[in-house]
Every structure is written in C-alpha cells, then in structure tokens.
Amino acid sequence: MGERNKRPVILLKVPSSDDFYGSALRSHNLDPIFIAPSHFVFKNLKQLQAKLQEPHRYAGIIFAAPRCVQAVNEALDKAPLPSCWRPLHNYALGKNTHSSAWFTLQNLPTLGDHAVNANNLCDLIVETFGPKRDLPLLMPCGNGVGQTLRLRLVAQGFRVDACEVYESRSHPEFVNQMRHALKFKRMETIVFFGPSSVRSALEFFESFKVSLKDRKMIAVGSGTRKAMEDAGIQADAVVDAADVDHLIKVIKS
C-alpha cells in the first residue's frame, strides 16, 4: 500500500530515531506523523543539587520519567551521584526510566522497570518499602509530571519531597505543523502523550476553531486522560505507554 493510502495518525510527542511507535504503526499500514507539542526547560537545579548532596536525609529517590533522571544529571554537573544513594529505596517508573537511571547515574539500581503507570509504581513502593516511613522520598519532577504518583504516596502515609526541576513550554513549530496537518486533512486520529500535549493542542484547537467532532482522540496514560478530561476533551480510548499493540487496535477499530 502506498504512503498516500496509509491512514495518517498524529502523535503528539517528540520523535526519536529509535521510536518504536513509528515502526509499529508503519508496519500496520498507518502513517505516523510526529508533532512535538512542547520542549522542556530545566529549573531549580541548584536546589536539587543541594538535596542530592544529603542522601542521609532521604529514604530514597523516585524518577517518574527519563527527564527526571536527566535533571539529576544536569544538577550534578558531570559529578557522580553520591554513592550513599545506592543502598536506599530507589524507584523508576517504567523500562525507559529504569534504563536511563542505570546508564546515566553510574548503574544506580532502581525498582519499577515493569511498572506501566503511577498506580503500579505506588503499589510496588508500598510492597517493597517496609513499615518505617519517617524519612521522605526525594522526587524530582516536572510541571504536570509525577503528580498522580505523589498524591497516591502521600495518601499511603509516605513523605514525598517533590522538587519541580523542569517545565514544558509550547514548541515554537507546533502551530505550523498542526496547521499543515489540518490543511491536508491528516488529523482524523490524534494520540496525546502527557499533559503538555493536551495544553498545546487545546490552545491550537481554540485559536483555530478546530471542531473535534468525528476525530478519534486517544490518551496514552491515565495522567493524559485526566488532563484531557480537565480540558473538556473527550478521550475515545486510554492505552498504556508500553502497549503499542493496544494503541494500533484502537486506531484501527
């Protein structure tokens, strides 16, 4: 089937050279169009650096996304992570975050590589942490990233020191790329990745009076679905980030 006959699917995420979504969708006669909704800016790194130098004040560290690992690396400014973090209760949400912590932070061991969402990771922390919860868990996070996990942990009696170390801003090319997709009628199916994709898209839909009728809207992750709900955008389906087969099934249904 030729490229032009493939069904276009807008993926609101930053494209990467090894992106498994792209190859999986193409193998099912779909035409993935990656549009980066936002870019990230680090902040409060000096504050984070000071916290990282005091592992004795924490029970461990939680990474909710690979960018949280990157923020820690930036805050350390090429210095290694103090070795006293290694035996603590360290967690990473999902395979990518787990690998990122391992390769970026001198083989830092973390639990959570099989967790697919914040609820899974919270359950794992409850199971593996033990009853003593007097010291806080350090949680570097971004605006809109890690909120669900933090609230669930606090509800379970954990202390969480959430340090916002990056924020997302609308990508300068986002509007042009969305207008191009709209013009060529390539916007029947839109897949949202994270709250920042919802914010950028909502702004675009409102500015250009885009009707969402007859468009299929898919949320990747429960945090994305919640952001869509709050923005008044109806999600036709919710899929886990690691389950690309389910995503393809939903797109084709």
The per-residue pLDDT for 34 is: 95
Taking the C-alpha atoms of residue 179 and residue 199, their distance in angstroms, rounded to an integer, is: 16
**Is residue 186 a contact partner of residue 10, using CB atoms and an 8 Å limit?**
yes
pLDDT tens for the 253 residues of the chain, in order: 445 578 999 999 987 766 789 999 999 999 999 999 988 899 999 999 999 999 999 999 999 999 999 999 999 998 999 999 999 999 999 999 999 999 999 999 999 999 988 999 999 999 999 888 999 999 999 877 788 899 999 999 999 999 999 988 889 999 999 999 988 888 899 999 988 899 999 999 999 999 999 899 999 998 899 999 999 999 999 999 878 999 999 999 8
Contacts 24+ apart (CB under 8 A), 150-157: 152/118, 152/119, 152/122, 153/122, 153/125, 156/122, 156/125, 156/126, 157/133
Residues 122 and 232 in one domain: no
Tell me which of 168, 197, 220 is where a domain ends.
168
221's CB contacts (< 8 A; 6+ apart) are 117, 193, 194, 238, 240, 241
Residues 179 and 164 in one domain: no
- At 1 the pLDDT is 43
Alpha-carbon distance 41 to 208, whole Å? Answer: 27
pLDDT score for 18: 62
Q: Which domain holds residue 162?
A: 41-168
* Residue 126 sits in the same domain as residue 175: no
Please, what sign has the CA dihedral across residues 20, 26, 28, 32? positive
What is the number of domains present in the chain?
A: 2
Residues 47 and 15 in one domain: no
Interatomic CA distance for residues 223 and 10, integer angstroms: 19
Final residue of a structural domain among 135, 168, 201: 168
Q: How is residue 16 written in tokens?
A: 């990467």
Can you tell me whether residue 170 is helix, strand or coil? strand
Instruction: Give the dihedral sign, CA 187/190/193/199.
Output: positive
What's the CATH code of the domain at 162? 3.40.50.10090
Q: What is the DSSP string of 37-86?
A: -EEEEE--HHHHHHHHT-GGG-SEEEESSHHHHHHHHHHHTTPPPPGGGT
